[in-house]
Amino acid sequence: MGPVLRRASRAAASVESWMSPRVLSSPKRPGFVTPLCCHESCEAQRTYYRESMSLPGQSSLFEEDPMLAALRAQARVCGPLGSKMYETLFTELADDYEAGGRIYALLAGRSARPIHDAVPLRLAGAIHRVVLRGEDDRLARHYPSVGGKPGEDFGADFIGYVREHLDEVESGLASQVQTNEVGRSVVQLTLSHWLTKFGVEEFDFFEVGASAGLNLNFDKFYGCFGQLRMGDPTSELRFMGDWFGNAPLVPKTGARVVNCKGVDVSPIDVTDPSQEIRLLSFVWPDQKTRLQRIRAAIEIAKEHKPIVDTESADTWIERQLRAHRDKATVVFHSIVWQYLGPDVQRRFRQALEDASITATPEKPLIWARMEPAGKVADVRVAMWRGGDPEEFLLAEIGYHGQEMNWLLPY
């Protein structure tokens, strides 16, 4: 896939207009929105859901039984996003639900907003955890994540497990979907090289919505495209040329990260085996490469434990920017902004504006973010070096971090 060109007006879009999506609310997590999906990208999923709604009879289906519609829509999403296994599974679960079977007994009336509450993915994750813990050989034979292969009776075995372990499955549904897509770390790697164009030799890095903090170790990963080498060449986690859509036009030398911290409203500690399994359970089991990446990142995190605080994004970033402004400072988030409540967004922006007052060419403040732009995400930067921010549209990128197409000249 070659570079994708954008109209100049798009590249020059203001931060304020870009950062004003419709925000949903969540009674379970005030100020934060329950994800529609896992790392597959909420915006890409919404696109497919909208397409599902346009099919004959689908709009009325959503109105009459949102849970059935959510299961059918999830099935339709999974195929294009690379999981034939889950496409088939959710189709069978929807059929069982519609027939008034065990899945209906489990899920009917459980949520008024099953798509927004990611109920289908919670159910899939709950059963995947059983498999990852090695608790059911009958199911394990269907799961590529533990060496199996989906058979024709996968759906029947899945529903059978639900029937036999209803209380356990119901408990598993309480676990909110949370993932930590490691492929997005190519944004941080490339950004660290791009910053040297502005004289930045070292910087502090603060990530909002860091989940398990796996991508806080980005400088311990390795990226390579042609003559460009980024990160640690000895790393087990490697992103080679075919991961990129085109060559990032950045300097060959990268800036060094000094202080590196993250925040999340509900961080995952992968040094706890149960939390590690929880994180892995929401990676679709037939996507082996993604599982390999996240497992490699987890091993790195066990050796170099990331710092992830539990706090709201706005108050946390305000504290960090007050304490760390003696060098270049990068504030970063990926597929997070739309989940912050309006008040949190406002206070977050205010913290950046307040900190920008002290920004200089020697100590710039950089707000970098990878956020939805339709079927791909944009990588945008606002940089304060004294005065008004400079705006940059650096790249387009897939929601897993794949096929990053660099848009700026050198």
**pLDDT per residue of the chain (410 residues) written in tens, 0 to 9:** 333 333 333 333 334 433 433 232 233 323 333 333 444 434 445 555 555 554 454 544 445 799 999 999 999 989 988 899 999 999 999 999 999 999 999 999 999 999 888 999 999 999 999 999 999 999 999 999 999 999 999 999 999 999 999 999 999 999 988 889 999 999 999 999 999 999 999 999 999 999 999 999 999 999 999 999 999 999 999 999 999 999 999 999 999 999 999 999 999 999 999 999 999 999 999 999 999 999 999 999 999 999 999 999 999 999 999 998 899 999 999 999 988 999 999 999 999 999 999 999 999 999 999 999 988 999 999 999 999 999 999 999 998 899 999 999 98
**φ, ψ of residue 343 in degrees (nearest 5):** -70, -40
CA dist., res. 382 & res. 167, Å (int): 49
pLDDT at 80: 87
Tokens of 149: 């292969």
Residues 6+ apart with CB under 8 A from 350: none
Domain borders along the chain are 36-172, 182-269+287-406
pLDDT at 31: 31
Which CATH number applies to 182-269+287-406? 3.40.50
